Amino acid sequence: MKANRKLWVAATVCVAVVAGVTGCSQGDDKAADPFAGLTADAIADKAVETTKAATAFRMNGTGTTDGEEMTVDFSVDSKGTCKGTMQAVKGGKAELIGTGDVSYMKGDDAFWRSSGGEEGASADEAGAMSAMLKGRWLKMPAGSDEDAAAFCDLKTIVKDMEEDTPRKGMTRGADADVDGKSAATLTKKGEKGETTTFYVAKDAAKPYILRVVEAGGKEPGTVTLSDFDKPVTVTAPPAADTVDMEQLMKGAS
């Protein structure tokens, strides 16, 4: 397996370098398990609570929703600052940034046409919206009903994460490697054949959820979490490059 190969390479490097280099153990070749004595369910509880307490993190991965594959790479912090991209094969690609009070979204032609269609607009109306927003950012005030605005709300994200994370009936498997970090593997099998696997950092102080893999169900996907507690820095686009959603809605009415 690729994960095992990474561990083997790391071990080989440690043997080759001078004793005492950071990251190479001179004692036991196996680090103590920070979850020793805990059930898989208890580890899941610790992971969820720790991840909920993070002041920021990055999410990237691919999943399937309503039969369409979506790729997301997104960073958000507790101040409502966020930035990232999302892309669907049929729905196009969009960039999103948030500055706390306002969110901005810029999509390509396919994205705006797809978004317009979801609201019941005609092909001509969706085309007109795409033309108006071409190369420009749609400005959305905080608290708007747009789904995009919720992307910048860390509390909403972690609440959804908590509700969607199984906490009972977990099984611990062999440890794995997630981007160079040792992780405990927790698996939950669903009633319809789906399997959810969580990779939890083997860190006694901060056992974050590092990766979630959903397989076998109607909405398979993989999401990796990183950059915990790292503030997100963004710059709002110039006013000349934006279209105000509130003004746009007033004009439409």
Give me the pLDDT at residue 120, please: 57
pLDDT band at 128 (very low <50, low <70, confident <90, very high): confident
Enclosing domain of residue 116: 66-158+233-252
Give me the pLDDT at residue 146, please: 52
Q: Give the pLDDT mean for 132-153.
A: 74
The 3-state secondary structure of the chain reads CHHHHHHHHHHHHHHHCCCCCCCCCCCCCCCCCCCCCCCHHHHHHHHHHHHHCCCEEEEEEEEEECCEEEEEEEEEECCCEEEEEEEECCCEEEEEEEECCEEEEEECHHHHHHHHHHCCCCHHHHHHHHHHHCCCEEEEECCCCCHHHHCCCHHHHHHHHHHHCCCCCCEECCCEEECCEEEEEEEEECCCCCEEEEEEECCCCCCCEEEEEEECCCCCEEEEEECCCCCCCCCCCCHHHEEEHHHHHHHHC
pLDDT digits (tens, 9 = 90+) for 44-91: 999 999 999 999 999 999 988 777 788 999 999 999 899 999 998 778
pLDDT digits (tens, 9 = 90+) for 5-33: 332 233 223 333 322 333 333 344 457 89
In a domain, 125, yes or no: yes
In a domain, 25, yes or no: no
In a domain, 199, yes or no: no
In a domain, 132, yes or no: yes
The tally of domains found in the chain comes to: 1
The pTM of this model reads: 0.78
In a domain, 7, yes or no: no
In a domain, 47, yes or no: no
Q: Give the pLDDT mean for 226-246.
A: 91
In a domain, 169, yes or no: no
In a domain, 33, yes or no: no
